[in-house]
Structure 1
Amino acid sequence: MTKKTTSGRRPPSGWRVAVLGGGAWGTALALAMLRAGHFVRLYARDSETVAAIDRGENARYLPGIAIEPGIVATSDIAAALGGADCVLAVTPAQSLRAVLAAAADHIPKGVPLVLCAKGIERDTGALLSAIVEEILPDNPVAALSGPSFATDVARGLPTAVVVAARDGEVAADLAARFSAENLRCYSSDDLIGVEIGGALKNVFAIAAGAVTGAGLGA
């Protein structure tokens, strides 16, 4: 049976969190990790995005939202990952394999890797957790998902998500560490269920939009 819980203890802080991805969701999660008390380094492939974050606004992806001081942005993946206690992979599903291959030599063994993008690999049909387990067999894998929007998280609006891992204790620890004043993280040991739910919701959303556009009713 799937367990879903929250921890009542005060979450420990001070982790070194590496965020792979400088888009809207990556930037929003970097802000969320900063507010949760962590030291954050954000890797973005595009040097212009890095410069924009350093100036205090990722205008291309999150226009009008101020980026609080404390996030170290870099286009050097080794610098972003060195000494990390946790890695958030916020790259699109179809580019995850290439990014992890480039990152593999720089991610310390035993450090949890949290999947923050939704999807299934097009060419292989593999879930994203299977890609992590193939490339990083010595690193626990988790997935963060839920009814969330990057702009809401970046603005600090109340949001709830789930963090899932096969090991329920790992999931609970990550959920406690990620939670902050306006971000509630629940934990689950149903990694596969959370991954599939996240991937399918976009399919359902497209179908629901098509039905609405065709005037077919509820």
Structure 2
Amino acid sequence: MSKIVILGTGAFGLSIAIMAVESGHSVTMWSAFESEIESLKRDREHKDKLPGVKIPESIEFTADISCVSDAEMVVIGVPSIFVRKVVRQAAPYIKPEMIIVDTSKGLEDGTYLRMSEVIREEVKDSPIVALSGPSHAEEVSRKIPTAISAASEDEKAAVAVQEAFSNDVLRIYLNDDVIGCELGGSLKNIIALCAGICDGLGYGDNTIAALMTRGITEIARLGVAMGARLDTFFGLTGVGDLIVTCTSLHSRNRRAGTLIGQGVSPDEAVKQVGTVEGYYCCKAAYGLAQKMNVEMPITAQLFKILFEGGDVKEPIKALMNRPTRYEREMPLK
């Protein structure tokens, strides 16, 4: 049995906590909000994020981040925009032998760093494992069969995470392409936002299929330029995560996109839906693509809508009228 501490009491953190308990581990969850902690202790349910899901009595809750000090694994379960702040708070209590498991998907604004890179800047020695793949918390927490990947440069740490969380309903594969896994898990949120916009505009299945296919192409294009392996983007953290995020009603990115397509302003859509990782990631990905001199036309068009007041109907015209070309592209060979 391992002692696992999860930083953050969001939906996915809770679903991972439930999986850990199912596998026989001791779990403590931390939140900076005392009121949230008291509510979770009292109700044993997160009524806003996972209504109807019973939280096992064995899961403990605290607002004291020093709880990290006796953990064997520390799971980062907060939105990407808060990862650096939370890890910095926890860093004084993290020992080199602790395994840090990151479940956040995104790029840091301004630095363009992946989440494992952000964590490494704050914690110098502990092994880091990125847990990613098609895994809506609403389904994981209800024990619906799910498969994801544990990506790390430290194979021993990745195996430990695989063994800690795998059970009858959660299957974890190993992957050593950390760059590819993290970029796939982050950038698919951009394409899912676009899928929602298409839905809000009343476009059909043909449009969504084209968007997803060309979306994974530009995600892979950036990934390969940054040193990732092409085949990673056709696995769980690439195509797998893209499919579930673009097509599921559980997807906050798709829901926010639908509102934008229906005429709601991007800021208001994010306010209504809550955490929309694709909104934040789009800005960073757009800057990163420019820095790397990589063509990402879908991302560029979404950037115009989100941050430059662009008309939601114009991007489709712009994309459809780009210069004709072969489908297979040299950068992906």
TM over 0.5: yes
Gaps of 5+ in 2: 208-333
- Structure 2 counterpart of 1:173: 160
Shift, 1:152, TM fit: 1.0
Q: 1:66 aligns with which of 27, 47, 54?
A: 54
Q: Specify which structure has the higher proportion of helix.
A: 2
- Structure 1 counterpart of 2:211: none
Q: Which whole-Å deviations, capped at 9, do the CAs of 1:154-181 have from their partners, x for residues lacking one? A: 1111111111101233212311221012
* Comparing 206-215 and 39-48, the one that deviates more: 206-215
Structure 1: distance between partners of 2:69 and 2:79: 22
C-alpha contact 1:22 1:45 (8 A) present in aligned 2:
no
- Structure 1 counterpart of 2:77: 90
Q: Secondary structure of the equivalent of 1:142? A: strand
Map 1:1-218 onto structure 2 (within 5 A): 14-55=1-42, 56-79=44-67, 81-214=68-201, 215=203, 217-218=206-207
Shift, 1:184, TM fit: 0.8
C-alpha contact 2:151 2:176 (8 A) present in aligned 1:
yes
Structure 2: distance between partners of 1:53 and 1:189: 36
Poorly superposed stretches of 4+, deviation over 4 Å: none
Structure 1: distance between partners of 2:110 and 2:12: 24
- Structure 2 counterpart of 1:3: none
Shift, 1:213, TM fit: 3.8
Q: Secondary structure of the equivalent of 1:82? A: helix
Structure 2 counterpart of 1:69, one-letter code: E
Structure 2 counterpart of 1:98, one-letter code: K
Aligned residues: 204
Task: Choose 1 or 2 for highest CA Rg.
Answer: 2
Q: Specify which structure has the higher proportion of strand.
A: 1
Structure 1: distance between partners of 2:196 and 2:168: 34
Q: Which whole-Å deviations, capped at 9, do the CAs of 1:162-209 have from their partners, x for residues lacking one? A: 111012332123112210121111111111111000001101111223
C-alpha contact 2:128 2:157 (8 A) present in aligned 1:
no
Q: Which whole-Å deviations, capped at 9, do the CAs of 1:15-48 have from their partners, x for residues lacking one? A: 0000000111111111111111110000011112
C-alpha contact 2:128 2:154 (8 A) present in aligned 1:
no
Structure 1: distance between partners of 2:47 and 2:198: 34
Structure 1: distance between partners of 2:55 and 2:190: 32
Shift, 1:136, TM fit: 0.5
Structure with more contact order per residue of length (Cα contacts < 8 Å, sep ≥ 6): 1
Shift, 1:52, TM fit: 2.2
Structure 2: distance between partners of 1:201 and 1:174: 24
Identity %: 34
Q: TM-score, normalised by structure 1?
A: 0.89
- Structure 1 counterpart of 2:321: none
C-alpha contact 1:172 1:188 (8 A) present in aligned 2:
no
Shift, 1:115, TM fit: 0.7
